[in-house]
Amino acid sequence: MNPVVEQMNRRRSVRNFSGKPVDEVHLGRILLAAQQAPTSINGQQISLVVTRNKETIARIAEIAGGQPQVAGAEVFVTVVIDYHRTREALKSVGAEQVIAQSAEGLMVGATDAGIMLNALQTAAESFGYGTTAIGGIRNDPQAMIELLGLPAETFPLVGTTIGVADDASLAQVKPRVPLATFAHMERYDAEAVRRGVAEYDRQLRLWWDEQGLTQMPSYSESTAQYYSRVYFPKVAESLESQGFEFRDD
Amino acid sequence: MNPVVEQMNRRRSVRNFSGKPVDEVHLGRILLAAQQAPTSINGQQISLVVTRNKETIARIAEIAGGQPQVAGAEVFVTVVIDYHRTREALKSVGAEQVIAQSAEGLMVGATDAGIMLNALQTAAESFGYGTTAIGGIRNDPQAMIELLGLPAETFPLVGTTIGVADDASLAQVKPRVPLATFAHMERYDAEAVRRGVAEYDRQLRLWWDEQGLTQMPSYSESTAQYYSRVYFPKVAESLESQGFEFRDD
Report the C-alpha gap between A122 and B117 in whole angstroms. Answer: 13
pLDDT at position B42 is 96
Quote the DSSP letter at residue A234.
T
Residue of B134, B223, B230 to mutate when probing chain A, most A C-beta within 10 A: B223
pLDDT at position A85 is 98
Report the C-alpha gap between A203 and B42 in whole angstroms. Answer: 14
Residue of B108, B200, B220, B227 to mutate when probing chain A, most A C-beta within 10 A: B227
pLDDT tens per residue across all 249 residues of chain B: 899 999 999 999 999 999 999 999 999 999 999 999 999 999 999 999 999 999 999 999 999 999 899 999 999 999 999 999 999 999 999 999 999 999 999 999 999 999 999 999 999 999 999 999 999 999 999 999 999 999 999 999 999 999 999 988 888 899 999 999 999 999 999 999 999 999 999 999 999 999 999 999 999 999 999 999 999 999 999 999 999 999 998
Task: Domain count for chain B, please give it.
Answer: 1
Q: Judge whether A235 lies within some domain.
A: yes
End-to-end CA distance of chain A: 46
Positive/negative CA dihedral, A140, A143, A147, A151: positive
Report the C-alpha gap between A157 and A138 in whole angstroms. Answer: 6
Q: Judge whether B197 lies within some domain.
A: no
Residue in B44, B53, B157 closest to A186 by CB: B53
Report CB contact under 8 Å: A179, B236.
no
Chain B hits for A217, Cβ within 8 Å: none
Parallel, antiparallel or unpaired: strands A154-163 and A130-134: antiparallel
Residue type, A211: Q
C-alpha A133: how far from chain center: 4
For residue A114, pLDDT over 90 is answered with: yes
> Which chain B residue is nearest to residue A134, measuring alpha carbons?
B40
Chains A and B form CB pairs within 8 A to the count of 418
pLDDT at position B1 is 81
Chain A hits for B108, Cβ within 8 Å: 135, 138
Contact criterion met (CB below 8 Å) for B140 and B63 = yes
CATH number where A47 lies: 3.40.109.10
pLDDT at position B170 is 85
Q: Judge whether B101 lies within some domain.
A: yes
Q: A172 CA to chain B: closest CA distance, Å?
A: 12
pLDDT at position A67 is 87
Q: Judge whether B50 lies within some domain.
A: yes
- Alpha-carbon distances of B137 from A172, A207, B27, B67, B155, rounded to whole Å: 36, 38, 22, 10, 11
pLDDT for A77-105, tens place per residue?
A: 999 999 999 999 999 999 999 999 999 99
pLDDT at position B249 is 86
Q: Identify which of B139, B112, B137 has the alpha carbon closest to the alpha carbon of residue B44.
A: B112
Q: Judge whether B57 lies within some domain.
A: yes
Report CB contact under 8 Å: B188, A88.
no
DSSP result, B76-94: EEEEEEEHHHHHHHHHHTT
Average pLDDT over residues A62-82: 96
Residue in B47, B174, B198 closest to A42 by CB: B174
Average pLDDT over residues A143-158: 98
Question: Which phi and psi angles does B227 have, rounded to 5°?
Answer: -90, 0
Chain A hits for B34, Cβ within 8 Å: 8
Q: What's the domain range around B110?
A: 3-171+230-241
Buried b (16+ CB within 10 A) or exposed e, B18-42: beeebeeebbebbbbbbbbbbbbbe
Report the C-alpha gap between A155 and A60 in whole angstroms. Answer: 15
Across chain A, which distance is largest between two alpha carbons, in Å? 63
For residue A170, pLDDT over 90 is answered with: no
Band of residue A168 on the pLDDT scale cut at 50, 70, 90: confident
Question: Which phi and psi angles does B88 have, rounded to 5°?
Answer: -60, -40
- Beta-strand ranges (E) seen in A96-172 are 130-134, 154-163
For residue A171, pLDDT over 90 is answered with: no
Report the C-alpha gap between B84 and A117 in whole angstroms. Answer: 24
Residue in A8, A116, A157 closest to B33 by CB: A8
pLDDT at position B171 is 85
Q: Identify which of A169, A138, A139, A170 has the alpha carbon closest to the alpha carbon of residue A156.
A: A138
Q: Judge whether A207 lies within some domain.
A: no
For residue A224, pLDDT over 90 is answered with: yes
Residue of B127, B184, B241 to mutate when probing chain A, most A C-beta within 10 A: B184
**Which residues, in sequence order, are bridge partners of residue A79?**
A48, A158
Q: A233 CA to chain B: closest CA distance, Å?
A: 5
Residue in A114, A119, A179 closest to B111 by CB: A114
Q: Judge whether A204 lies within some domain.
A: no
Q: Judge whether A19 lies within some domain.
A: yes
Chain A hits for B110, Cβ within 8 Å: 106-107, 110-111, 114
ipTM beyond cut 0.90: yes
> Which chain B residue is nearest to residue A198, measuring alpha carbons?
B89
Alpha-helix residue ranges (DSSP H) falling in B103-211 = 103-126, 141-148, 179-182, 190-210
For residue A18, pLDDT over 90 is answered with: yes
B215 CB-near residues (< 8 Å, 6+ apart): none
